[in-house]
Amino acid sequence: MGTRRYILRKLVQAFITLVAILIFNFFLFRVWSPGDPVSFLTRGQGANISEQERQALIEDYGLDKSTWGQFTEYMKDTLMLKLGSSSFYQGEPVMSVFLRFLWPTLLLFGISTLFSMIIGIWLGIRSGWRRGSLFDRTSMIGSLVLYSMPEFWLGMLLLLLFSSTLGWFPVGGRISTNAYELSGFGNAIDVANHLFLPVLTLTLAYIGQFYLVMRSSLLDVLGEDYITTARAKGVSERQVLRHHAVRNALLPTVTLVALSFGYVIGGAITVEVVFSYQGLGLLTYTAILSKDYWLLQGMFLFFTLAVIVFNLIADFTYAYLDPRVREA
Amino acid sequence: MQTPPLHVGIDAPIGPVVDEELPPPVPPGSPRRIRWARRRKALHRFWLAFRRDTMGMVGLAILVFFIGVVIFAIFADTSGTRITEATGQPLQPPSWDYPLGTDNYGRSVLTLTIQGAKVSLLVGLTATVITMIIGAAVGLAAGYRGGGTDTVLMRITDWGLVIPWLVLAISLASIFGQSLFIIILVIGLTTWPSTARLVRSQVLSVKERAYIERSRALGAGNWYLVTRHVLPNVMPVIMANTVLIVAIAILSETALSFLGLGDPFSISWGQILQQANDAGASTLGAWWWLGAPGVCIVLVVLAFTMIGFALDQIINPRIRDR
Amino acid sequence: MSLLSTRDLTVTYQTQGGPVPAVRGVDLEIDRGEVVGLAGESGCGKSSIAGAILRLHPKTARIGGTILLDGKDVLELPPGKLRALRWTGASIVFQGAMHAMNPVQRIGAQIAEAITTHHQANEREAMVRAGDLLEQVGLPGRRIDDYPHELSGGQKQRVMVATALACSPSLVVADEPTTALDVMVQAQVLKLLTRLQRELGLAMLFITHDLSVLVEVADRLAIMYAGKIVEDGPAQRVFFEPEHPYTKSLAASFPQIGDPRFRRAPTGLGGDPPDPQHIPGGCPFHPRCPEVFEPCPDVVPSLFPAGEGRRAACLLVEGAIASARGGA
């Protein structure tokens, strides 16, 4: 069946891209980076590391082998999720550090993207349907302005307004310092409190992009002949919009949304920094500041893998929506 | 961070057909002179169309204003940016002496913002040049030659698109050091894939058109076809894309500077914001410090975006009157 | 009483360059079961009439005059009644079926949509009827689950015909139904249309620029030029014994093989159809007319009787000058 072949093709492409990324990752952080990977590995533990332990680490990660030998060792290790240890976190394995900071980012990213998409797309549809109206013109201007703002700057503004001026929300962090005193429900409220401004920031930052794309696709579609056919058949305007216009306008939207994942991730990183929100973004920032290359390598891998996965999801969604691609 | 340039409405085949028209009924100069006369006329027509677009004109006005700021900045006194020569009280709100207030060292935010314009715009424009050269070259090669070249180049482009640009930029910057040059290079290297894609699809649509085949039947070689037929029809899209890329490049530099990867010896709007954030401007309520550079960034990016959208509308008659 | 009757129908589009009068006063009558052909070059306004009958034009277009469909004035109907009338009173077979169907919806669903919109059946029954309709146009009923891109051009056009019949309309407007098709397929679709018209006793308004088709298919023929009808009457007589010089040129462009009357090579007509915003004074055809004479640039000829059930808007028609002088 066409669909199965399409899925297979996309999976193979994703796999090839992944392999290319792994190779690039190796070269970037091992071969080209200044300094000695061994020292980065052991730096975290400072002077507390014995010669034996040091030697064990070298052998464990194959750091004494030739470049090719190191490369094979690296591929093996990466597949087993053995990603080295972080110098900033005193030799803690990168994988373990990563897992600690994962779910706050997932929470932030997931909620923001969801809201952003839903609101942006809804606004875009409404705007495109009533082109030239006051609603259209104001939302267009608003979206353009939001689109032109650096997300972290928006975050700083919101922080200024809602936190230091109005005092409605905490100034940063993921949880309060006395979080361990709170009960389960209290904990949830605490997390939500800290999550609110970052989520608001990211949501507002990306509404513009979804809005503009959806509006433009809808305007394109509304000029098509089959819209006239539907109206001629006596179909109500609402049904024309829902079944014919939007269904087709979603296609380019999905494509463009997929293309922008990489950028949205960048935004999440800077916003976490502004709010000192302990997620993967802040972790990456810390890694930069402390030149923690093993950690950076792991972050690079993760973020890229995330984009590959999102793109796959977008590809499959597109195939679900558009029967024409399944044939090819 | 920002999204890939939103060519709202341009996905593939569009563009006016710049066919070789009949020469105007004037005494025939050399073919070259005729060509240039034609180009000047086309440019004039284009300007008339652009003038009608309010959004584009507003964008242009803002841009001209900031170019003026940069020119002023080049000749202005830069002493106010050095911490040791700070003359004001720290963290003062706007006043007559310091129209935009002062930062935590007592430097005038106005001076900082004006000087910051230089680097922000310079990096934005230079990085765009790199992006466009690589992107257009890859797109042209892939689209025109097709086959194996196309597949290989597109795989590389896809690979470039998959890596989150900030993560790559961060990695490159932290490995290869922090300087203006590196920043420009890094932004250029991470932004070209979306341009390549766009150019390639436009080249593909131009290639389909009958006059290419006819031209070839008449004996036209590849170089002739590319320079005389393909390029003139792809140029409008490239121009519109360039403008939107500048907007992205500026935002990219801002983000990189904010994360501390900027050139430590220069001032850019992003770096002002970085210093402001590090000093806790938000919590201290120093709205002028983070407001001024931020508003400038928004205005400049908005300007380029609006001009870019206006260009899109002129090039693609389908999306006119939006 | 005729099924469709238009009086002084005008359609004017509002554009950036000013108003464009595409249709400038057309009187058309179609009786039940009658096939009326409407012919003319591109830009003469014939397609605008098709859209006007069901009020499918964008709001920026101004439609004047009266259109009586089954006794109801289409231009005065409130939106609900208009939608109810669409497809049940009259339906349209659009040109370029390639783009007249929703690419992401199965064709059975698109046919059934017309039926369920008018509450003529529930969803399941509507799908059954869709299958029957496909059989009626010569396609296997099981293809209701196909998508438009899985069909050839001719097949798509058949589906459009099937859709047009879904609500058993009294009038079917065929707007250039064969223009975009290969000659062989054209013949098939034409045969289909004539068969269905006879079997179901449909009235048809057949719009095309291809006169040769109309001679076979139409009972009556109307020729349009520059937004007005310049000649009408029984199809065979208008084609073989044209009264208006434009009709003569048009007919001469479609030679019938084997017919001795066309032994001479087909002659074309110089010049272009007039720009609707700059229609020549007097008779709009006079700049191109091979039989132009003195009063033509000054007098606007109306449709004078030119034989049994025939009219022509030309001063050369017997008695035209006299009545023009007398009336004016």
**pLDDT tens per residue across span A287-303:** 888 888 888 888 888 89
Mean pLDDT over all residues of chain C?
86
Query: Which positions 111-150 of A are in contact with B (Cβ < 8 Å)?
Result: 131, 144-145, 147-150
Q: What is the mean pLDDT of residues A235-244?
A: 91
pLDDT of residue A44: 59
Backbone φ and ψ for C25, nearest 5 degrees, come out as 110, 85
A244 touches chain C (CB under 8 A): yes
One DSSP character per residue, B93-134 reads PP-SSSTT-B-TTS-BHHHHHHHHHHHHHHHHHHHHHHHHHH
pLDDT of residue A195: 87
Q: What is the mean pLDDT of residues A33-53?
A: 66
Cα dihedral B263, B269, B270, B272, rounded to 10, equals 80
- pLDDT at position B322 over 80: no
Helix (H, G, I), strand (E, B) or coil at C18: strand
Contact C42, C2 (CB under 8 A): no
Mean pLDDT over all residues of chain A?
84
pLDDT of residue B9: 40
Using one digit for the tens of pLDDT, what is the confidence trace for A70-79? Answer: 778 778 777 7
pLDDT of residue B13: 35
- pLDDT at position B288 over 60: yes
**DSSP H/E element including B168:** helix B165-176
Mutate to test the interface with B, among A153, A171, A265, A302 (most CBs of B within 10 A): A153
Mean pLDDT over all residues of chain B?
82
Cα dihedral A216, A220, A226, A231, rounded to 10, equals 60
Q: Which residues of C touch A243 (CB under 8 A)?
A: 102, 105, 113
Higher pLDDT, A199 or C304: A199
Residues near B219 by beta carbon (within 8 Å), at least 6 away in sequence: none
Q: Which residues of B touch A149 (CB under 8 A)?
A: 294, 297-298, 301
Q: Which residues of C touch A236 (CB under 8 A)?
A: 83, 117
User: Which ranges of chain A does DSSP label H, i.e. alpha helix?
Assistant: 2-26, 37-43, 51-60, 67-79, 94-129, 134-148, 151-158, 184-222, 225-232, 237-239, 247-259, 261-274, 280-289, 293-321, 323-327
Q: Please count the CA atoms within 13 angstroms of the CA of A184 that sit on its side-chain side.
A: 0
pTM of the shown model: 0.84
pLDDT category at C255 given cuts 50, 70, 90 is: low
Contact B308, B247 (CB under 8 A): yes
pLDDT category at B14 given cuts 50, 70, 90 is: very low
Q: How far apart are CA C64 and CA C74, in angstroms?
A: 11
Q: How far apart are CA A154 and CA A205, in angstroms?
A: 8
Distance (Å) from the alpha carbon of B300 to chain A's nearest alpha carbon: 8
Three-state secondary structure readout of A255-283 = HHHHHCHHHHHHHHHHHHHHCCCCCHHHH
Beta bridge partners, C208, equal: C39
Nearest Cβ partner of A263 from B2, B247, B283? Answer: B2
Using one digit for the tens of pLDDT, what is the confidence trace for C29-56? Answer: 999 999 999 998 877 788 889 889 999 9
Sheet holding C304-305, edge to edge: C90-93, C171-175, C203-208, C35-39, C220-225, C228-234, C311-312, C304-305
pLDDT category at C176 given cuts 50, 70, 90 is: confident
Q: What is the mean pLDDT of residues C18-35?
A: 90
Contact A22, A302 (CB under 8 A): no
Structure tokens at B298: 């928004």
Q: How many CB atoms lie within 10 A of CB A135?
A: 14
Q: What number is the ipTM of this complex?
A: 0.86
- pLDDT at position B224 over 80: no
Do C100 and A228 lie within an 8 Å CB cutoff? yes
Nearest Cβ partner of B297 from A150, A262, A269? Answer: A150
CA distances from C52 to B248, C48, C90, C169 (A): 47, 6, 12, 17
Q: How far apart are CA B321 and CA B306, in angstroms?
A: 14
Q: How far apart are CA C185 and CA C15, in angstroms?
A: 37
Do A260 and B4 lie within an 8 Å CB cutoff? yes
Query: Which positions 2-21 of A are in contact with B (Cβ < 8 Å)?
Result: 13, 16-17, 20-21
Q: How far apart are CA C228 and CA B297, in angstroms?
A: 58
- Among chain C residues, the shortest Cα distance to A225 is held by C100
pLDDT of residue B7: 54
- Among chain C residues, the shortest Cα distance to A251 is held by C104
**Of all residues in chain A, what percent carry a pLDDT higher than 90?**
29
pLDDT category at C256 given cuts 50, 70, 90 is: low
Q: How far apart are CA A307 and CA A315, in angstroms?
A: 12
Which chains form contacts with chain A, at 3 or more CB pairs under 8 Å?
A: B, C
Ranges B264-273, C3-12, C313-322: which has the least confidence: C313-322
A259 touches chain B (CB under 8 A): yes
pLDDT category at B15 given cuts 50, 70, 90 is: very low
A270 touches chain B (CB under 8 A): yes
pLDDT category at B107 given cuts 50, 70, 90 is: confident
Contact B245, B5 (CB under 8 A): yes
Q: What is the mean pLDDT of residues C149-166?
A: 90
Q: Which residues of A touch B1 (CB under 8 A)?
A: 150-151, 263-264, 266-267, 270
pLDDT of residue C328: 45
Distance (Å) from the alpha carbon of B12 to chain A's nearest alpha carbon: 12
pLDDT category at C325 given cuts 50, 70, 90 is: low
